[in-house]
Structure 1
Amino acid sequence: MKLHLLLFALLFTCGVYSQNGTLKGKVTDLESNLAPLAFATISIEGTTIGTSSDGNGNYKMEVPSGKHTVLFSYLGYETQSIVVTIVKGETKSLNQSLSSNSTELEGVVVQATSKKVKETALLLDQHRSLEIKQNIGSQELSRKGISDVAAAVAKTTGVVKQEGSGAIFVRGLGDRYNSTSMNGLPIPSNDPERKNISLDLFSTDIVEYISIDKTYSSRIFGDFAGGHVDIISKDHSGEGFFNFSIGSEVNSNAVRQDKFLLLSDRNYMGFSKNDTPKDPLNNYQFDNSLNLKNRTPIGSNFGFNTGKSFNIGQQGQLNLFATASFSNKYKYKEGIVKSVQAQGDATKDFETKDYEYTTNTTGMFNAQYSINPSNKIAYNLLYINGSSESNEEYRGYMRDLADGPEGGFLRRGNYIQNNLLINQLLGEHQFNEQFKLNWGGSYNTIKSDMPDRIQNTFRIKDNQYFFTTNSVTDNHRYYQNLNEDETAAKISLDYKFGKNEDLLYRGKITVGYNSRFKNLDFKASQFNYRLGNSLRNVAVDPYNLDAVLNKTGFDNGDFQFETFLGDKNLNIALTPQTYQGKQSINGGFAALEYQVSPKLSAVVGLRLEQITQEIEWKTQLDLEGDKNTFDKTAFLPNLSLKYALNDRNNLRLAASKTYTLPQFKERGLFMYEKATGSIKGNPDLYPSDDYNLDLKWEFFPENDEIISLTAFGKYIQNPINEITITSSSDDISFANTGDSGYAAGIELELRKNLFSFDDLNTNKISAGFNAAYMKTRQELDSEKVRKENAFGADFTHKNASFTGAADLVMNADISYIKEWNKRSVMATVSYAYISDRIYSLGSQQLGNSVDKGFGTLDFIFKTKLSDNLGLGLNVKNLIDPKIERVQENLTQDILVQSYKLGKSFSLSLNYQF
């Protein structure tokens, strides 16, 4: 019986096969001079029959005889359908070109599709690019449950997000070596201590995809060595829509607290009054309470997206897109913090509690006007308001302040509000098939306020709290304001040449210019408490300081305020500390792209930049004030080679020269007071020069799969580092710490479909893995520091790794995705690991401070229940590891910091009308 069934099945299969014909052809890109379009989808409407084009755009498949509708589709292009008749036993050729422009052809059904949001589209872009690049799109962001750009970038190979901030390290190189832009135009920093804006300010709601360049090309400003992050904002075309989402989030550490103590007078939405008092030395003018307020630590978020397109005239189309969102989060961590000497003796030994509340309000509007298929203009407006509020409590031993058996108590209340406004105007003009003009301009402003930072210090005796001071700054109120505006412009002209027998151009020349002009104004005022004996010797309640530090006490003379310039008896006492900065960069560039042979392509680029940086200051370190200017002319060549081993394998080489600028904060002679130490700028700082080399092999088994291996190296002349200078107070500053340093490593990336349960609909299990192993080394020359600067250094070691550089960085994820009838289920488990890395360099026999390695595990689940309704569940940091820092002294390693972040649980709902 089994034999009969087998014979019947074989005969039936042969009978069916005999009724088939063959359909083959080539899919090309109409907008790229009929270049082959790899990995396009060709399917028979109403059936499960389908295939994908290969690396040369060719396809072939068996189709039953008869009349069929053939669908040609690719993400970012218009789907086209053509009716064909298949004759059994015969082969029919059908070539098709796809275009992203809206057209109407007789007998062709045109349907708009989404743009570069899917992983397949971005992998194809990576495959075809002549330069080494890596992208992460909104589809992958959703699959991995990523809510901000900082977390998104950290999922790419060799990139690390610094815990507790939006700063990133690329291939072991930190903030100073990286750059950030949006739609190809630079954006300013929100923090005077950083070069780049905190990427966690950017919600992924505004992102179509993120491009990460780890190799240099001449279109990018030359201040680059680690990576360049370009955020490509969403736009819209097609039918109108409106999507609304709402959600909630809790942190396991935060919800377990009986009381979640935060500042009393800060706005829940992150919009607060930030004015500095006009004359607090003569009148008590502080409105904010010193007492704390109990909050319910349950976060929330809500937002909407909407878009609509309008036809204008015969060829024009106006596309509008808008999004707005608000989110807040509560975090809590407790642990230990120590400051220890070379012999292991502690100067500070604290148990800590840190309550934190953050908000993010984002709004974006995008208008894109396609005048005709050859001319397009777009305007982007982005507004972000981010706030961070924290109550930090340190309890324990403080040498010279609270060194009794019961120790002391230090509390710092901090609030930061960042307000960013980005305006961009962009244009593309295709004059003919050979000439194309691209241009853009932007005006951006950032306002960063730190209003009324509060610090109070106490000694404890017999379970009672008494104010204590070793320096008048131990009890203070601090105000800081940063205003920065920047204009930027870019323009480039492409010229294609060398048309071959296939009507494709072999070469392209690009010439262009871009510039950025930055103005910065920084002010800071600190009002230190000069406490009278009536307060110093009386027990107080540290959680009810309004009872003693109030207007009545000020009027009675129990305390008074003074600044770094003195008290109310000096006319200049209220003069704030200031520095102003101006920076201009003008760059001209040229690049030649050429297909040397069918397999070998090259890009040769050259950039010439003129940089001027001016800074002027008047601070407590220089009461008279001074200014400093440096100019640099940078000659920056770069080369990229691509050799196509076959349709799915590429071998790439990239080499370039770049530079690294010191930042305003690092050169301004200003003292930043922190709870654990002080940082001051150094006007003698100067730029580094960087030399970069990459060799990469990449293999694309399928249209959504990749295997790649990269070897890279970087040589840096005169690297800049944050160091502890030789002084009685162990102040921190910045210096060119040696003649050279280098970074070298390898990167591996894998994306693979493990199981596919349906040939046409998505129903699969896929996995991703990327890892980077690297070594960095730099010379540390104490004599060089003494010769070139107004201070000295005494490094414990003669060489060290770069600060922030981890030997091993790894990301892994596995996902199940099923889509059917406009429904879907997606579940992802992702793991990330970062190994040990240096936090700060040791000096004066102190060892390096090293952040120990740890891993995190996340789970993400999303489902679309209907055409309109979707649900999501995220669980972050499931294993909740300890975050630890040790000081590797010559005699022993000492644990100086330890805490846990807690698990995060979030639930979301979205509805599309």
Structure 2
Amino acid sequence: MTTMIRLLLSTTMLAGLAAPALAQAAPPAPAATPAAEPPAEEEVDVSAPGGGNDEIVVVGTRIPNTIRASREVVSVLSAADIARTGEGDIAGALKRVTGLSVVGGRFVYVRGLGERYSLALLNGLPIPSPDPLRRVVPLDLFPTSVLASSVVQKSYSVNFPGEFGGGVINLTTRAVPKDPFFNVGGSIGANSATTGQLGYVYAGGTKDWTGFDDGTRNLPQGLRASQDSGRALAVGGNFNLRQLQDITADLANAATNVIFRNENIPVNWSVNMSGGRAFDVGDARLGFVFAAGFSNDWQTKAGKQQLSGGATGTGANAALLADQDFNFAATEFRSVLNGLFSVGAEFGDHKLRFVNVYVNDTIKEARIQSGFDDINVGRDVLLQRNATAQFRRQLIDTQLVGEFKWDNLTLDVRGTYANSKRLAPYERFNNYAFSAQFNDFVNDLRSPGQSSLVSFSRLNEDVYGAGLDLGYKIRGGPFPIRLAAGYAFSKAERLSERFDYRYQSNAALPGAVTQQRPDFLLSDFNVYTYGIILNTISTVAPRYEADLTVNAGYGQVELEPADGVQVVLGVRYESGKQRVVPQDVFNANPGSAFNTPTNINQDYWLPAATLTWNFAEDMQFRFSASKTVARPQFRELAPQPYFDTDSDRLSFGNQFLENSELINIEGRYEWYFGRDERLAVGAFYKDIDKPIDAIAFVQGGTFQNTFANAPNARLYGAEIEAQKYFDLSSWGGLFETRRFFVSANYTYTDSQIRVKAGDTTRFPLSGQVVPATDIFRTGSLPLTGQSDHVANLQFGFQDDAGLSEQTILFNYASNRVAFRGPSGQPDLVEKPGIRLDVVIRQGFKIFGKEIEAKLEGRNLTNTRYQEFQRLNASRVDTNTYVLGRSFQASLSAKF
């Protein structure tokens, strides 16, 4: 049930999630002095599972109503609040919220925890990521203009899915706009490390700038037939030499194989529009909202990628050596097309939403590496490695939500269907080694360090979801009571394929041929002249099917036994069946543990309780306790390899993973000491049984990632948030209508994986039960992806008379473990560091139209991306590169 909550008009709440349930009004207590008249408020629209009602307790008259009415630890962003941050997308706005950190400018994590502990909902319904290899949704895809609110809930309530670790982010789209609007905008931007600088590109197709392929990368018919029939490409019973040559020659060559230098990488740009209108039809009000955006962005990463095979020396003299040491440069071109169309209706207290989302997000990458590989080739041989790829992700999501209210009864009905795809054709890898004999780089397709490979992968996933929630208020008793109950269903079905091939020749290639660039080397002439053919590499699980079905029901009671005291008690029953079935398409690993299917069938009772004590008109205290679960993702279970564009590494899953169970305890004190001013202090504790952790290992000289269950982990921490405004009207002149504001928050988190003698875990791929100390070092090990310290500071000026804001923003996150180190080595550590941003927004009018100009400077500290291993005085940079400073100017007009 949509809860129409009134929020202080000028509150700049940098956080946000909907109140799952609201309390019934209590009779006002006598006061010695009249309460201060609250400032004007605006309505904030929140759509979340579990229903609600619009009556609230009246003790905390200075507490913003969304915060006061919620039973849980939440932060709320209204549409106006989001606009004040100066961000065009919700990911940027949320990174100022207490305890939230944004990874890569796109993915929002709660309290530094990794993506498996973060959940995103759209109008109370699950929304899959447009990248099916990730659980977390890139929130930079959602323009702020179409959002009515965003709520971040950090304590669990049973109306939400049981997979609740760090928190849930619920986005609510506008249903029926209050006033007609139409906005058109555009931006142009540059990056000091990319724009106008040297980068590397490849041709691809003529439509690559749109994010779509023109057919250049279509899968050749011969390869498709081989994959469908399970006949591996190899000379023998399945194919003769001529057939394999025909299949090999049928592949696109130069367009996907040749990397060019671009001395002047273009600027970044985007265009967007949004609009909406409402109509009165009888007693009903109908409306629609739409948004569309298109962007082209470039990023060149240049730095170091090293790999240590182990340590030399002992004790304080131990040191890591870089057994692989490459300088690299990679240029990524990202094209994003997104759209949203929503139709809504309001009649009485009832509301309907029909929401449709489309996203096409494509990354085209060209990468070169130069260095040595002492593990496979030798320290004295200079290697040159080139790679090209295109990764296209698509999401189509449709939702229908009905929210109804009849006096004491509320009813919510929700349904959704989503389809997510990932297509990665023609991932090419060409490896050359320097030859003293020819004084040139050569590739004979067979010697160490010399090879050409190509991979084709595709993934399709369908997601279905539905929910029914009922709420009923019992009046006339000794104190207000509200009962809520609901049922939720979700099902995800996935089919994923990845096929890897290597070019091979029947005989040694002439020296002159080995010196040719990739498109000449693999040309049709050489294919038929020298017998160059594609061979299927017998990878593990070239294809897998997976599904996850969850049926859940919950019951919840909300009590107000005394004025200002609210109690919520509930329990959720959740039955989850998860299945991943690897397919040995080419019968390459008969009887192997690689082919072991995953079947996780577990039921859970998940209780939750929250106590809220609103003991003064401007203060309240919350305490909550709950049990939740964390399920492994499909990609973490499937032994199929995949390439992670963020880490530039090959990863695969572990089909022997188990679910994690969490015990969550939280307390929070809030003091709203003035208009738009607050102080909040909280503490939290989590105990995690069998947490899933990312681990790294070296296989065949290649750095790879996988996952394993640690025995146990615990996490605790505290957070503090403060916001203060200073009225500058007494200064007069330019400052007559201005306020100076300061907002700061800080979160401390301590996490530790606990491994003791006798603990065991399942080893990836083999499934063998091994001592946990074989994978996890003993001692103090923080969870992967978790920063001990996350801090945000922003300050600047706001004009109350019109749009004029100047804001300086600092963001800091301390070092966090990215992956467990391979073979007992130190962990791979990521260093986010300090970021400084400046945002200037100014409104003005041209020909009577409202225009907004925005100037942004991001990462002005020029902080690098750093991932490394450290042992004593030695350091190995596993993936370190320059990010550069980014600048963007944008204009938008309102009609």
TM-score (norm 1): 0.82
Please state how far the C-alpha of 1:652 moved relative to its aligned partner: 0.5
Aligned residue number for residue 664 of structure 2: 692
* 2:620 counterpart (626, 650, 661): 650
Question: Partner of 2:655: helix, strand, or coil?
Answer: coil
Partner deviation per Cα, 1:697-727 (whole Å, 9 max, x = no partner): 0111234222101100100111111224697
Residues 536, 178 of structure 1: CA spacing in aligned structure 2 closer, same or farther, 3 A cutoff? farther
Q: Equivalents in 1 of 2:3, 2:579: separation in Å?
A: 45
Aligned residue number for residue 826 of structure 2: 847
* 1:522 counterpart (496, 499, 502): 496
Partner deviation per Cα, 1:521-549 (whole Å, 9 max, x = no partner): 1111222111466657447678x532222
Aligned residue number for residue 222 of structure 2: 279
Residues 753, 540 of structure 1: CA spacing in aligned structure 2 closer, same or farther, 3 A cutoff? farther
Partner deviation per Cα, 1:382-412 (whole Å, 9 max, x = no partner): 1111111111221111125553546111122
Please state how far the C-alpha of 1:787 moved relative to its aligned partner: 6.2
* 1:307 counterpart (272, 276, 279): 276
Greater shift, 443-452 or 677-686, is seen at 677-686
Alignment RMSD:
3.4
Aligned residue number for residue 569 of structure 1: none
Please state how far the C-alpha of 1:31 moved relative to its aligned partner: 8.8
Whether 2:597 is the aligned partner of 1:635: answer: no
Aligned residue number for residue 310 of structure 2: 342
Q: Equivalents in 1 of 2:460, 2:830: separation in Å?
A: 33
Whether 2:554 is the aligned partner of 1:584: answer: no
Q: Equivalents in 1 of 2:877, 2:321: separation in Å?
A: 12
Residues 39, 678 of structure 1: CA spacing in aligned structure 2 closer, same or farther, 3 A cutoff? closer
Aligned residue number for residue 18 of structure 2: none
Please state how far the C-alpha of 1:751 moved relative to its aligned partner: 1.7
The letter for the 1-side match of 2:140 is: D
Residues 893, 160 of structure 1: CA spacing in aligned structure 2 closer, same or farther, 3 A cutoff? same
Please state how far the C-alpha of 1:656 moved relative to its aligned partner: 0.2
* 1:767 counterpart (742, 752, 756): 742
* 1:397 counterpart (350, 353, 372): 372
Q: Equivalents in 2 of 1:537, 1:227: separation in Å?
A: 60
Paired residues of 1:469 and 1:475 also in contact (CA < 8 A): no
Aligned residue number for residue 259 of structure 2: 292
Question: Partner of 2:597: helix, strand, or coil?
Answer: strand
Question: Partner of 2:475: helix, strand, or coil?
Answer: strand
Whether 2:580 is the aligned partner of 1:615: answer: yes
1:210-359 equivalences under 5 Å are 210-265=150-205, 267-272=208-213, 273=215, 275-280=218-223, 281=244, 282-283=246-247, 284-287=249-252, 288-292=255-259, 294=262, 296-313=265-282, 315-343=283-311, 344-359=320-335
Aligned residue number for residue 166 of structure 1: 106
Aligned residue number for residue 16 of structure 1: none
Please state how far the C-alpha of 1:214 moved relative to its aligned partner: 1.3
How many pairs does the alignment contain?
804
Whether 2:564 is the aligned partner of 1:599: answer: yes
Aligned residue number for residue 679 of structure 1: 651
Aligned residue number for residue 15 of structure 2: none
Unmatched segments (≥5 aa) in structure 2: 11-26, 46-52, 56-60, 224-243, 312-319
Partner deviation per Cα, 1:172-193 (whole Å, 9 max, x = no partner): 3211222221110001233343
Residues 56, 150 of structure 1: CA spacing in aligned structure 2 closer, same or farther, 3 A cutoff? farther
Q: Equivalents in 2 of 1:212, 1:241: separation in Å?
A: 27
* 2:96 counterpart (155, 160, 168): 155
Paired residues of 2:642 and 2:652 also in contact (CA < 8 A): yes
Question: Partner of 1:255: helix, strand, or coil?
Answer: coil
Aligned residue number for residue 345 of structure 2: 369
Aligned residue number for residue 523 of structure 2: 550
TM-score (norm 2): 0.83
Residues 485, 786 of structure 1: CA spacing in aligned structure 2 closer, same or farther, 3 A cutoff? closer
The letter for the 1-side match of 2:135 is: K
Please state how far the C-alpha of 1:425 moved relative to its aligned partner: 0.6
Aligned residue number for residue 142 of structure 2: 202
* 1:562 counterpart (517, 535, 543): 535
Partner deviation per Cα, 1:775-816 (whole Å, 9 max, x = no partner): 100124696446673275344434411011111111111121
Partner deviation per Cα, 1:635-671 (whole Å, 9 max, x = no partner): 0000111011201111110100011111222222323
Residues 243, 148 of structure 1: CA spacing in aligned structure 2 closer, same or farther, 3 A cutoff? closer
Paired residues of 1:336 and 1:349 also in contact (CA < 8 A): yes
Paired residues of 2:453 and 2:503 also in contact (CA < 8 A): yes
Please state how far the C-alpha of 1:136 moved relative to its aligned partner: 3.1
Greater shift, 218-227 or 778-787, is seen at 778-787
The letter for the 2-side match of 1:465 is: F
* 1:707 counterpart (658, 676, 679): 679
Partner deviation per Cα, 1:471-494 (whole Å, 9 max, x = no partner): 799521111111111111111111
* 1:480 counterpart (457, 477, 481): 457
Greater shift, 361-370 or 459-468, is seen at 459-468
Greater shift, 150-159 or 807-816, is seen at 150-159
Please state how far the C-alpha of 1:166 moved relative to its aligned partner: 3.4
Paired residues of 2:119 and 2:168 also in contact (CA < 8 A): yes
Please state how far the C-alpha of 1:763 moved relative to its aligned partner: 2.3
Aligned residue number for residue 193 of structure 1: 133
Aligned residue number for residue 408 of structure 1: 383
Greater shift, 610-619 or 788-797, is seen at 788-797
Please state how far the C-alpha of 1:876 moved relative to its aligned partner: 0.7
Please state how far the C-alpha of 1:439 moved relative to its aligned partner: 1.3
Paired residues of 1:401 and 1:459 also in contact (CA < 8 A): no
The letter for the 1-side match of 2:490 is: R
1:736-755 equivalences under 5 Å are 736-738=709-711, 740-755=712-727
Please state how far the C-alpha of 1:130 moved relative to its aligned partner: 1.7
Please state how far the C-alpha of 1:576 moved relative to its aligned partner: 8.4
Residues 161, 39 of structure 1: CA spacing in aligned structure 2 closer, same or farther, 3 A cutoff? closer
The letter for the 2-side match of 1:345 is: L
Whether 2:147 is the aligned partner of 1:180: answer: no
* 2:65 counterpart (108, 115, 124): 124
Residues 375, 673 of structure 1: CA spacing in aligned structure 2 closer, same or farther, 3 A cutoff? closer
Q: Equivalents in 2 of 1:541, 1:329: separation in Å?
A: 35
Q: Equivalents in 1 of 2:410, 2:748: separation in Å?
A: 41
Question: Partner of 1:910: helix, strand, or coil?
Answer: strand
Residues 381, 518 of structure 1: CA spacing in aligned structure 2 closer, same or farther, 3 A cutoff? same
Q: Equivalents in 2 of 1:222, 1:903: separation in Å?
A: 40
Whether 2:864 is the aligned partner of 1:882: answer: yes
* 1:378 counterpart (341, 353, 373): 353
Paired residues of 1:188 and 1:484 also in contact (CA < 8 A): no
Partner deviation per Cα, 1:657-688 (whole Å, 9 max, x = no partner): 01111122222232346797653322221111
Query: Larger RCO: Structure 1 or Structure 2 (Cα < 8 Å, ≥ 6 residues apart)?
Result: 2
Paired residues of 1:263 and 1:391 also in contact (CA < 8 A): no
The letter for the 2-side match of 1:363 is: G
Residues 123, 382 of structure 1: CA spacing in aligned structure 2 closer, same or farther, 3 A cutoff? farther
Whether 2:405 is the aligned partner of 1:430: answer: yes
Q: Equivalents in 1 of 2:687, 2:375: separation in Å?
A: 45
Whether 2:484 is the aligned partner of 1:510: answer: yes
Q: Equivalents in 2 of 1:270, 1:687: separation in Å?
A: 37
- Percent identical residues: 21
Q: Equivalents in 2 of 1:610, 1:455: separation in Å?
A: 44
The letter for the 2-side match of 1:448 is: R
Residues 211, 630 of structure 1: CA spacing in aligned structure 2 closer, same or farther, 3 A cutoff? same
